[in-house]
Amino acid sequence: MKLTVTRLGQHGPISKQSDGYFRFQCPHCKELRATVNPKNNLAHCFCCQKNTNNIDLMLLQGHDFVPAVTILRRWLEDYRDDLGDPTPSANSDSLQTS
């Protein structure tokens, strides 16, 4: 989630890191009370009580579903490349379905 918010940059919600938590402006109520749970990479707003995942956030930013998933996959691959992570990309034969 942090990667998604960060990569959205100027077009994404306002965000900040404080007290060890990543917080951003809730796309539902616009309060800076959405907090990412690092264990499951989901966000919860402590103001409106709504939950948000990466795809929801992209859709709320105006992306259609398939382009949103494509963008998220590319960002994840870029992130893994930066880390030197040997995890296979979504394009590998082991992950493709018929």
Q: Are strands 42-45 and 21-24 parallel, antiparallel or unpaired?
A: unpaired
Residue 98: the pLDDT is 39
Q: Are 79 and 3 in contact, with CB atoms under 8 Å apart?
A: yes
- Determine if the pTM surpasses 0.75: no
Number of H helices, E strands in the chain: 3, 5
> How would residue 13 be classed by pLDDT, with cut points 50, 70 and 90?
confident
The first and second tokens of residue 36, run together, are: 């990412």
**CATH superfamily of the domain spanning 2-83:** Zinc finger, CHC2-typedomain (3.90.580.10)
Calpha distance 21→76 (Å, rounded): 21
- Give pLDDT tens digits for 29-65: 999 999 988 888 899 999 999 999 999 999 998 999 9
